[in-house]
Amino acid sequence: MPPKKKFTREQIIDAAFEIAKKEGLGSITIRKIANALGSSIAPIYVNFNDVDELLEGVMLKIHELTQNILLEQNTGYPFLDIGIASLKFAKEYDVLFKDLVFQKNDQFDVDMEEQLVELMKTDPDLKGFSTDELKDILLKLKIFQTGLSLMVANGLLSNKTDEQLIEMLMSMGNDVIVAKRQSKGVE
């Protein structure tokens, strides 16, 4: 009997990520990963207790990927960068984006919200807002941005350029910020 191939946790997570990227998170199975690696299932179980533990690794990889896409944006306005990063992720990873939108993942959402609010505190357009007000602004933009990004992921806005999509984000973001300032009695 030939020796079993050895794979690192990262190689296995990468194989699972590639499956998720093409077919969705729900399509990840130990057997599919083994087939993608050209292996039996044994090396996967050497590294992971079960598919749920492996999925945690894939979710961590997705979280790191979204962070990297966010860090690549550098408009000088972190609030805008958040929206642009969402559009880019939706365009480049449409299947994953739809999975994340349609599947509730509390831990992923809480971690992201806290990080995004901290980032928003550095935005010059958002000076003077409390943490709760920033959370409200983030939620309102997230509602718009999710819809816009979902339309991008589904190819419904293929007639729009990246610049036009960014302009839509900027316009909506500005409207939300102006409305929040007006509700505070600050112009």
- Burial category of 79 from C-beta neighbours within 10 Å (exposed 0-12, middle 13-18, buried 19 and up): buried
105 and 51 within one domain: no
Task: Give the model confidence (pLDDT) of 3-37 as tens digits.
Answer: 456 889 999 999 999 999 999 999 999 999 999 99
Task: Give the model confidence (pLDDT) of 76-131 as tens digits.
Answer: 888 889 889 999 999 999 999 998 888 766 545 556 788 889 888 988 889 999 99
Which stretches of the chain are assigned E, i.e. beta strand?
none
The alpha carbon of residue 146 and the mean position of all alpha carbons in its chain are separated, in whole angstroms, by 10
DSSP element (H, E) containing 91: helix 78-92
Its domain, for residue 37, covers 1-62
Rounded to whole angstroms, the Cα distance separating 144 from 179 reads 15
Residue 67 lies in a domain: no
88 and 35 within one domain: no
Q: What is the pLDDT of residue 114?
A: 85
128 and 92 within one domain: yes
Does residue 184 surpass a pLDDT of 50? yes
Task: Give the model confidence (pLDDT) of 43-84 as tens digits.
Answer: 899 899 999 999 999 999 998 999 899 999 988 888 889 889
- Give the contacts of 165 (CB within 8 A, at least 6 positions apart): 87, 148, 152, 157
- The whole-model pTM stands at 0.81
Rounded to whole angstroms, the Cα distance separating 115 from 66 reads 12
Q: Which of 40, 44, 62 is nearest to 8 (CA)?
A: 44
86 and 21 within one domain: no
